[in-house]
A and B are shown apart, each in its own frame.
Chain A
Amino acid sequence: MPINNKEKITAVDAEQFKDMMFTSLYWLKEQKSFIDSLNVFPVPDGDTGTNMYLTFKEAVSSLEDNNSGSVSNLAAALAKGALMGARGNSGVILSQLIRGFAQALKNKKKMKTKDLAKALEKASEVAYHGVLKPVEGTILTVSREAAEKATAEVGSVKDLLELFEITIKAAEESLERTPELLAVLKEAEVVDAGGQGYLTILEGMLKGLKGEKIEYQAAAAEEKTRKRSEIAEDIKFTYCTQMLIEIDSRKNKIDRVIDKIRKDMQSYGDSIMVVGSDDVIKIHVHTNHPGVLLEYGLKKGKVFDIKIDNMRKQNQEKVELENEADFDHSQFHHSKNESEADSKPKENKDAAAEAVTESESKEIVPNAEEDAEIVVDKNIGIISVANGEGVVNILKELGVDYVIKGGQSMNPSTNDFLEVVERMNTEQIIILPNNKNIISAAKQVSELSQKNIEVIETRSIPQAVTALMIFDDQASPSELKESMEAEIKHVKTLEITKAVKDSKINGLEIKKDNYIGLKDGDILVSADTEKETVINLLKEVAEDEELVTIYYGEGITETEAEEIRKIMEENFDFDEIEIYPGGQPLYPFIISLE
């Protein structure tokens, strides 16, 4: 129901709160490419806009099946979803902001003007608290200054709309000042991307409150993860079966019930998803026996919103219909809730459904074996993150039990880690994220799991290799963290990549598509060719290292890698140079010196 702009809004009920969040999600989606473009570093990096969007999407998705009439419950679900979906540093900070926001709304059936001010303040407070070394000139500053303004003005505004407008203006001004606080922003002549993301979310909430509709256009541009032919082969279980079960939450600990159901589901089929909030659990399974599943559900509680689709049939029709387009599994789930009372603006609701299905399609599609237990024959399970067949194989050979696909431009979420953690048959686990932008999402896992987990703060593949060399299965995860983090200080990581845009950084004038050379994450040189970049970089950083390891990336031939070795032999005095096909995307060469 569109709301008249002139009308005063002094409180937001659950329905409106949901609208605000869904609208905000869509506004963020519209803006995410722009936010990505604010990336300071010209490296193909974990993009802030994308990470914040994916995190927020996970959060908002958790409202989809939540019919609670209270803002408090919705906010709590939002916070949980954000925590699970957090990816990238910006995503992790956003999840902390939402957590604080939800804390302030506890026991509030509606959100009044003063509640919003408190929520904004608490959001900022919790976010600052969650960051080890808060840096000013970032999303933190924007959240704080916006909240300060909201708190100062809350007594004099006439309603929520006005408070939002004032807050957003303060956030804009704060964002404009970020280059003054953070030198890298100034040099690159941009504002902080995370701050921009936060501003966008606030703007989106206001749009939702006003009943504005966001034209949804970006769907076509969204990447599709799978090809039609692949999915057809993947259908081992015919029926996509979904249901909601109402559990008596006074008698049962919901988390335990979810765990139990998730385990039980393993024997029914694949693509298992079991999520829950308060007293409702949602089950999604691909199975050949939906009837048995319903009986199972009845034993647990009251079953409702049952949905059974024959995927084989749908897939066939799909194949017939769409010859050109990539197959999108989310289509299977698209029709749900169509008949629900049409209280949300139409576009937003579709958009919301799309958001949910999109995230589901990512979560649900995995192969059967990806739901199975990960059998670790050691005391300590090892999880790592990498992209590229060669690199993955090396990590596995060195003892990693599960490699999550990801890296620079694909930051796995907290939930991605959590799922793997829970599937491992061991209580002690170490995680090697291999990227500075993935560390914090990995760290949040220990909050969500009972297992003894340590994150070894590896920022590159060579660091992971060095750490794994001294893995000792008899040590405890915390002992390993100490010894491994000490060990990785002895290895230098050099990376060669292409600049994704023009930029000025560290006094270098970098043109798009130039090669840039990084040492331990810092851009030090730039040149026209890969070879030149390698030589210039080595000249800057090589000291008395003995061993060089070259991992050549996707699109580089062994001959080209050998040429790099030759150059090194001619110009430098290393004892040993080893070459491995890494197959990593975006980085023609990753080189370690030790």
Chain B
Amino acid sequence: MIALVTDSTCDLPADILAKYQIEIVPLTVHIEEDTYYDKVDLESEEFYAMMESAVELPTTSQPSVGLFMDKYKKLAENYDQVISIHLSSALSGTCESARLAAAQIDELEIEIIDSKSTSSGLGFMVLLAAKMLTNDKNMDEIKETLMQEREKLTIYFTVNELSYLEKGGRIGKAQAFLGNIFNFNPILELSAATGEITPKEKIRGYKKTNQKMVELALEAAAGSDKVNFAYIYGKNSDNYKQLKNLLGTELQSQNNFEYLLLENRIGTVLSSHTGPLVYGIVIYRGELLGE
């Protein structure tokens, strides 16, 4: 039997997790000297309220090696193999924690896979693995498929303020976008090629930003006859709603590809690094991952 493990940044809703028996290892968020497990201890709304009142920005940590070991040991009771899929190693040490834990577990065969993505990008890879498991694919087949399919992921997102990414040290090449006088909306890309956040566009005005993001998403989808999309968002803002309207209309009026469209809320750990007003589109050019 093969167990499927991921981390809390995959942003898959509870019913899906339950349906496919997906096991979650949570990352942790620290705010005002308190520590919470992502998606376990704290709801997003509550967290945003805390973020706003807190003097210092929250910090986050990867799951400890011990946490992974506990999870794997527990799974060893019922499974003999584990596929453990996690957020990009360019953004977090989670994969590394998982690897260290796996090295200390003899009872199980554990395959750690770097999704090179996160949020619903990671979520799509987890869903893909879950589907393959229901079709009785073996570990090697699943691994091989995931390594190929992760290349077909793209995430475009915008943040209200770059300072969160900057302070969290996750900004990489988007550094070039930093400034503190002039206001513009950055469109950032989490590219599957590097697993890093890179700057894509600087745009002024949220309508133009949304328009550009939709354009980019459709460009990323072009050439594939089946495309999975997911909206990702922190706080539910008017700007985000406008994006949904825009992409929704575009998708309905095209007949280049079949599509699936999900909407997943970003957890506390990721929004600690992006700020609450983050929103974006995840594109996965691959078999539809619906029912």
Interface residues of A (CB under 8 A from B): 390, 393-394, 397-399, 465-466, 469-470, 546-547, 549, 575-576, 578, 580, 594
Q: Determine if B184 and A469 form an interchain contact, defined as CB atoms under 8 angstroms apart.
A: yes
Min Cβ gap A505→B in Å is 32
With both beta carbons as reference points, the residue of chain B lying nearest to A394 in the complex is identified as B182
Chain A residues whose CB sits within 8 angstroms of the CB of B176 once the complex forms:
399
Residues of A within 8 A of B180 (CB): 397
Question: Who on chain A is nearest to B179 by CB?
Answer: A397
Whether A576 contacts B184 by the Cβ 8 Å rule is no
Identify the interface centre among B176, B181, B202, B204: most chain A CB within 10 Å of its CB.
Answer: B204
Q: A546, B207: Cβ atoms under 8 Å?
A: yes
CB atoms of B203 and A575 under 8 A apart: no
Q: Does B208 contact A (CB under 8 A)?
A: yes
Please, how many angstroms separate the alpha-carbon atoms of A390 and B181 in the complex?
Answer: 9
B37 CB within 8 Å of chain A = no
User: Beyond the given A397-B181, A575-B206, A594-B204, could you list 12 further A-B residue pairs with CB under 8 A, ordered by the A residue number?
Assistant: A390-B181, A397-B180, A398-B182, A466-B204, A470-B201, A470-B202, A547-B205, A547-B208, A549-B204, A576-B205, A576-B206, A578-B183
Contact (Cβ within 8 A) A469 B205: no
Q: Which B residues touch A580, using CB under 8 A?
A: 181-182
In angstroms, Cα B207 to Cα A303, docked, is 67
Contacts of B183 in A (CB 8 A): 578
Query: Given the interface contacts A469-B202, A470-B202, does A394 sit within 8 Å of B207 by beta carbon?
Result: no
A-B contact pairs, 19 of them (CB 8 A): A393-B181, A397-B179, A397-B180, A397-B181, A399-B176, A465-B204, A469-B184, A469-B202, A469-B203, A469-B204, A470-B201, A470-B202, A547-B205, A547-B208, A575-B205, A578-B183, A580-B182, A594-B204, A594-B208
A578 to B203, CA, bound (A): 14
A466 / chain B contacts, CB cutoff of 8 Å: 204
Contact A547 B182 (CB under 8 A): no
A394 surroundings in chain B (CB, below 8 A) = 181-182
Which residues of B167-219 have CB atoms within 8 Å of chain A's CB atoms?
176, 179-184, 201-208
What's the least CB distance linking A384 to chain B, in Å? 14
Residues of B within 8 A of A578 (CB): 183
Q: How far is the CA of A594 from the CA of B181 in the complex (A)?
A: 19
Complex interface residues of chain B between 69 and 114 (CB less than 8 A to chain A): none
User: Do residues A547 and B204 form an inter-chain contact, with CB atoms below 8 A?
Assistant: yes
Cα–Cα distance between A393 and B207 once the two chains are bound (Å):
26
Most buried by B among A393, A394, A547: A547
Which of A390, A398, A594 is the one whose CB lies under 8 Å from B205? A594
Whole-angstrom distance between the Cβ of A339 and the nearest chain B Cβ: 55
A465–B203 Cα distance when bound, in Å, is 11
Closest chain B CB from A584 CB (angstroms): 15
Whole-angstrom CA separation of A513 from B182 in the bound complex: 32
B266 to chain A, nearest CB (A): 24
How many angstroms from the CA of A80 to the CA of B239 in the assembled complex?
56
**Cα of A546 to Cα of B239 in the assembled complex, Å:** 13
Question: Smallest Cβ distance from A224 to chain B, in angstroms?
Answer: 32
B208: min CB distance to chain A, Å: 7
* Contact indicator A546/B208 (Cβ below 8 Å): yes
Complexed CA–CA distance, A559 and B211 (Å)? 33
The list of the 10 closest CB pairs from A to B, nearest first, reads A547-B205, A397-B179, A469-B202, A394-B182, A546-B205, A397-B181, A546-B207, A397-B182, A547-B204, A394-B181
| Bound-complex Cα distance A576 to B205 (A) | 7
Cβ of A509 to closest chain B Cβ, rounded Å? 37
How close is B216's CB to chain A, nearest CB, in angstroms? 14
A576 to B204, CA, bound (A): 10
Contacts of A397 in B (CB 8 A): 179-182
B208 neighbours in A (Cβ, 8 Å) = 546-547, 594
User: Which residues from chain B contact A576 at a C-beta distance below 8 Å?
Assistant: 205-206
Q: How far is it, in angstroms, between the C-alpha of A394 and the C-alpha of B183 when the chains are bound?
A: 10
Name which residue of chain A comes closest to B183, CB basis.
A578
Cα A399 to Cα B176 in complex, Å, equals 9
CA–CA, A397 and B176, complex, Å: 10
A394 to B204, CA, bound (A): 14
Chain A residues within 8 Å of B181, by CB: 390, 393-394, 397, 580
Task: For B182, list chain A residues within 8 Å (CB).
Answer: 394, 397-398, 465, 580
A378 to chain B, nearest CB (A): 9
Closest A residue to B203 by CB, please name it: A469
Cα distance A465–B204 when bound, in Å? 10
Which partner residue on chain B sits nearest A545 by CB separation?
B205
Is A398 within 8 A of B179, CB to CB? yes
Please report the C-alpha to C-alpha distance between residue A580 and residue B179 in the assembled complex, in whole angstroms.
Answer: 14
Docked Cα-Cα span, A580 to B176, in Å, equals 21
Nearest CB of chain B from residue A121's CB, rounded to whole Å:
51
Provide the residues of chain A in CB contact with B179, threshold 8 Å.
397-398
Q: Considering the chains assembled together, what is the distance between the CA atoms of A400 and B205 in angstroms?
A: 22
Chain A residues lying within 8 Å of B202, measured Cβ to Cβ, are 469-470
What residues of B have a CB within 8 angstroms of the CB of A549 in the complex? 204
Q: In the complex, A397→B178 CA distance in Å?
A: 8
B135 to chain A, nearest CB (A): 43
B residues near A390, Cβ cutoff 8 Å: 181
Question: Given A399, A465, A575, which contacts B207 in the complex, CB threshold below 8 Å?
Answer: A575
- Cα–Cα distance between A580 and B204 once the two chains are bound (Å): 14
Q: From residue A407, how far is it (CB to closest CB) to chain B in Å?
A: 19
User: How far in angstroms is the closest Cβ of chain B from A97?
Assistant: 42
Chain B minimum-CB-distance residue to A581: B181
Bound complex: CA A390 to CA B182 (Å): 10
Residues B267-287 near A (CB distance < 8 A)? none
> In whole angstroms, how far apart are the Cα atoms of A546 and B207 in the complex?
8
- Which residues on B sit within 8 Å (CB–CB) of A469? 184, 202-204
Q: In whole Å, how far is A441's beta carbon from the nearest beta carbon of chain B?
A: 27
CB contacts (< 8 Å) of A594 on chain B: these are: 204-205, 208
Docked CA distance A578–B183 (Å): 8
Q: How far is the CA of A549 from the CA of B184 in the complex (A)?
A: 11
Map CB proximity to A onto B116-140 as digits: 1 under 8 Å, 0 otherwise. 0000000000000000000000000
Alpha-carbon separation in the docked complex, A397 to B184 (Å):
12
* Interchain nearest-CB distance for B221 vs A (Å): 23
Contacts of B206 in A (CB 8 A): 575-576
Residue of B nearest to A472 (CB): B201
Report the Cα distance A397→B207, complex, angstroms: 23
Closest Cβ of chain B: how far from A480's Cβ, in Å? 14
In this complex, what residue of B is CB-closest to A390? Answer: B181
Minimum CB–CB distance for A544 against chain B, Å: 10
CA distance A547 to B181 in the complex (A): 17
The smallest C-beta distance from B217 to any residue of chain A, in angstroms, reads 19
CA distance A397 to B183 in the complex (A): 10
Closest CB of chain B to A591's CB: distance in Å?
A: 14
Q: Which chain A residue has the least Cβ–Cβ distance from B180?
A: A397
Q: Which residue of B lies closest to A471 (CB)?
A: B202
B214 CB → nearest A CB, Å: 16
Q: Which residue of A lies closest to B178 (CB)?
A: A397
How far is it, in angstroms, between the C-alpha of A385 and the C-alpha of B194 when the chains are bound? 38
| Least Cβ–Cβ distance between B86 and chain A, in angstroms | 32
CB closest chain-B residue, reference A547: B205
In the assembled complex, the Cα of A578 lies from the Cα of B182 at a distance in Å of 10
